[in-house]
Amino acid sequence: MTRWNTSTLVIDLVLACIINTTAMLVSAAPLSVLSWVPGTASAFCINVLLQLVLPVPAFAARITAPLKSAVVQHLAELFVVNACYVSCISLSMAYLATGGVNIFDFWWQSYITLLLVGYVATLGCDAAAQRLAHKHEE
């Protein structure tokens, strides 16, 4: 499970905004407040629910533990966590968009882009969180 704190919730919200916006742009959906807000809220809620149910951080730590370099291990762990959450969130969002009709075709059209954008956003959020943590330690 995920450790809950303000930083986790802020990162979840930032990632929900980025993933939803990217999904809308990739699928050529019109960007409007009326479609963007519910999509972002859905992505955020799905992410939080997944964090409550799935032990993704522990799974990622376990499968990346054999890596020798701490930096490489950390980057790989972030990738695995991102891949798990982006896969589940984007598949859930595809279901909401299609009602289940041709869901995998719809999902696959945007999946790789969402995975890459999600990973870059995760790296940025992780770097920001680490900087903030170091400032609070000083």
Annotate 13-56 with DSSP letters as a single string. Answer: HHHHHHHHHHHHHHTT----HHHHHHHHHHHHHHHHHHHHH--H
29: in domain: yes
Q: Which two tokens stand for residue 65?
A: 């533990």
pLDDT value, residue 83: 96
Q: According to the model, what pLDDT value does residue 75 have?
A: 96
Q: How many helices (H) and strands (E) does the chain have?
A: 5, 0
What is the domain range of residue 39?
Answer: 6-137
10-residue mean pLDDT profile of the chain (138 residues): values are 78 94 92 94 94 93 94 96 95 92 94 97 92 77
Cα–Cα distance, 7 to 120 (Å, whole number): 18
The pLDDT, as a whole number, for residue 26 is 93
Number of domains in the chain: 1
State the amino acid at position 38 in one-letter form: P
CA 8/CA 80 separation, integer angstroms: 17
DSSP-derived secondary structure letter, 1: -
Q: Are 60 and 81 in contact (CB under 8 A)?
A: yes
Please answer whether residues 77 and 45 qualify as being in contact, where contact means their C-beta atoms are separated by less than 8 angstroms.
no
pLDDT of residue 50: 93
85, part of any domain: yes
Residue 40 falls within a domain, yes or no? yes
Residue 56's nearest CA partner among 26, 35, 78 is 78
Residue 1 falls inside a structural domain = no
